[in-house]
């Protein structure tokens, strides 16, 4: 991507991040990548648990921390102590967004709930991410990504019908999606504030983004009582639409989402008569013979290497793609051309590969400026330069482990 632009979309937006682990921090990271000044507040000495979660590097920080908390300034603050709560209020008074993902009621217990924060700053936008949201009979329950996948309905669909449900790709999918929706909600609230002059709460339960992306699951059940079961790599409503084995012991994804595309695949397989008015020309016919169709396609793909299949399918305009491992992603020219893998230099770990930012803006793109900071790295910038605390006050707060 291009060098940092003269103007970034969120220049001048100040974000206070008091969240931990992944969903809240990922929310504020999205904002930081596009110019927001994000101050990450961590418990003194202990720090964010994400610093100890995942693969630990030689510098003591984990890979998830370095990658997912980039572009933020780190300061230490104990919100549980009155002095710490008072400092947070001073920051909030001049902030645009506050991001938190404690269990509902935690901030209220410390005297830092929305009722207090909106009095401190009526224009404040508060992003609140929790397991089940701020309301409802389950709101007090703790939640993690795995629970979000399960409660949201995705885990039930992951795996094969005769086997137990499996992790759908990653247990952290709800955290990332909730963080993304949190960032979207914050931007919508900023836009609304331009019209109303008031801030508001963005309230997200980890399971809600999962439920939101389950295509026709809800209306299908409501209308027809249909309960979708696990289908392995297959997909409801379309066939063939799965992962198929190749001659070189790899896998290829083929997606036939219409009768027209199946006709192209039939041509590629040398059986054009099966399309159109043939035995598998209509989706209903293919669905009725799902096992037979997938078996035939698997037999065909097994006769070619993955690269050969890619050539054949591309020639016939059949949507296809390799089922990649991370090693293959690093070797792929499309990833290289789009600069999807960003190499960042850092004094603590040397050079580190991280996923580049999304989305891609052509005029005012975002930028990764630095990896997840060391704990308290920016204390002086926050407490001396911004809040104008003198040396004696900083020393007192440090002794009390407030900062």
When pLDDT is averaged across residues 323-345 and rounded to a whole number, the result is 98
Residues 348, 389 within the same domain: yes
CA-based nearest residue to 245, from 193, 316, 296: 296
Q: Which residues contact 202 (CB under 8 A, 6 or more apart)?
A: 125, 126, 127, 128, 182, 185, 186, 188, 189
Considering Cα of 194, then 195, then 199, then 204, what sign does the dihedral take?
negative
When pLDDT is averaged across residues 123-149 and rounded to a whole number, the result is 97
Angstrom distance (rounded) from CA 132 to CA 102: 11
What CATH number should be reported for the domain holding residue 174?
A: 3.40.50.10540
Question: Is residue 2 assigned to a domain?
Answer: no
Question: Is residue 152 assigned to a domain?
Answer: yes
**pTM score of the predicted model:** 0.94
What CATH number should be reported for the domain holding residue 312?
A: 3.30.1540.10
Question: Is residue 218 assigned to a domain?
Answer: no
| Confidence grade of residue 179 (pLDDT, cut at 50, 70, 90) | very high
185-241: per-residue pLDDT in tens?
A: 999 999 999 999 999 999 999 999 999 999 999 999 999 999 999 999 999 999 999
Residues 201, 309 within the same domain: no
Judge whether 17 and 129 are in contact, CB under 8 Å: no
Residues 271, 161 within the same domain: no
57-111: per-residue pLDDT in tens?
A: 999 999 999 999 999 999 999 999 999 999 999 999 999 999 999 999 999 999 9
Number of domains in the chain: 2
Residues 45, 168 within the same domain: yes
pLDDT at 4: 53
Q: Which residues contact 301 (CB under 8 A, 6 or more apart)?
A: 244, 245, 246, 252, 254, 309
Q: Which long-range contacts (CB under 8 A, 24 or more apart) does 119-122 make?
A: 120/89, 120/92, 120/93, 121/92, 121/93, 121/94, 121/95, 121/199, 122/197, 122/198, 122/199
Question: Is residue 393 assigned to a domain?
Answer: yes
Residues 112, 161 within the same domain: yes
When pLDDT is averaged across residues 292-319 and rounded to a whole number, the result is 98
Please give the positions annotated as active site. Answer: 175
Residues 60, 178 within the same domain: yes
Other beta carbons within 10 angstroms of residue 51's beta carbon come to: 22
Residues 256, 178 within the same domain: no
Residues 92, 161 within the same domain: yes
pLDDT at 1: 47
Buried-state track 189-212, b at ≥16 Cβ within 10 A, e below 16: bbeebeeeeebbbbbbbbbbbbbe
Residues 83, 200 within the same domain: yes
When pLDDT is averaged across residues 38-54 and rounded to a whole number, the result is 96
Residues 22, 153 within the same domain: yes
Question: Is residue 228 assigned to a domain?
Answer: no
Question: Is residue 367 assigned to a domain?
Answer: yes
Considering Cα of 79, then 82, then 84, then 85, what sign does the dihedral take?
positive
| Confidence grade of residue 5 (pLDDT, cut at 50, 70, 90) | low
pLDDT at 6: 78
Angstrom distance (rounded) from CA 303 to CA 116: 67
Q: Give the position of tokens 């000495």.
A: 45
pLDDT at 397: 98
Host domain of residue 299:
241-245+251-322
Q: Quick check: 37 pLDDT over 80?
A: yes
End of a domain among 289, 322, 355? 322
Written as six digits, the tokens of 175 are: 């955290």
Helix or strand run (H / E) with residue 76? strand 73-76
β-bridge mates for residue 244, sequence order: 252
SS3 242: strand
| Confidence grade of residue 3 (pLDDT, cut at 50, 70, 90) | low
**What does DSSP assign to residue 5?**
P
Question: Is residue 167 assigned to a domain?
Answer: yes
Residues 51, 122 within the same domain: yes
Question: Is residue 119 assigned to a domain?
Answer: yes
Q: Quick check: 2 pLDDT over 50?
A: no
End of a domain among 322, 354, 384? 322
| Confidence grade of residue 293 (pLDDT, cut at 50, 70, 90) | very high
Residues 302, 346 within the same domain: no
Q: Quick check: 45 pLDDT over 60?
A: yes
Q: Quick check: 55 pLDDT over 50?
A: yes
When pLDDT is averaged across residues 46-63 and rounded to a whole number, the result is 95
């Amino acid at each position: 991507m291009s060098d940092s632009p003269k103007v970034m979309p969120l220049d001048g937006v100040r974000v206070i991040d008091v969240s931990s682990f992944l969903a809240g921090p990922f929310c504020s990271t999205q904002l930081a990548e596009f110019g927001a000044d994000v101050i990450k507040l961590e418990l003194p000495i202990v720090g964010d648990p994400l610093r100890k979660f995942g693969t630990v590097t030689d510098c003591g920080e984990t890979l998830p921390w370095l990658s997912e908390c980039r572009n933020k300034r780190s300061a230490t603050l104990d919100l549980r102590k009155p002095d710490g709560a008072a400092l947070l209020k001073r920051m909030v008074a001049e902030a645009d967004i506050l991001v938190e993902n404690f269990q509902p009621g935690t901030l209220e217990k410390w005297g830092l709930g929305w009722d207090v924060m909106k009095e401190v700053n009526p224009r404040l936008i508060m992003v609140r991410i929790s397991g089940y949201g701020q309301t409802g009979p389950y709101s007090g329950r703790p939640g993690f990504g795995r629970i979000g996948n399960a409660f949201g309905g995705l885990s039930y669909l992951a795996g094969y019908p005769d086997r137990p449900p499996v992790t759908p790709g990653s247990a952290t999918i709800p955290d990332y999606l909730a963080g993304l929706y949190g960032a979207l909600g914050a931007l919508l609230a900023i836009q609304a504030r331009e019209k109303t002059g008031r801030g508001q709460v963005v309230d997200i339960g980890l399971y809600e983004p999962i439920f939101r992306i389950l295509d026709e699951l809800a209306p299908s059940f409501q209308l027809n009582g249909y309960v979708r079961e696990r289908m392995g790599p297959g997909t409801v409503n379309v066939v063939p639409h799965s992962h198929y084995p190749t001659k070189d012991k790899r896998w290829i994804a083929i997606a036939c989402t219409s009768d027209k595309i199946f006709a192209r695949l039939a041509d590629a397989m040398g059986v054009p008569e099966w399309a159109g008015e043939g035995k598998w020309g209509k989706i209903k016919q293919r669905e009725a013979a799902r096992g037979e169709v997938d078996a035939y396609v698997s037999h065909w793909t097994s006769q070619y290497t993955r690269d050969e299949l890619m050539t054949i399918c591309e020639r016939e305009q059949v949507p296809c793609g390799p089922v990649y491992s991370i090693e293959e992603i690093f070797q792929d020219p499309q990833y290289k051309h789009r600069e999807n893998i960003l190499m960042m230099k850092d004094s603590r770990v040397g050079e580190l590969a991280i996923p580049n930012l999304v989305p891609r803006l052509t005029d005012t793109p975002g930028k990764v400026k630095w990896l997840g900071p060391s704990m308290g790295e920016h204390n002086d910038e926050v407490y001396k330069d911004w809040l104008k605390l003198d040396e004696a006050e900083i020393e007192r707060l440090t002794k009390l482990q407030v900062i």
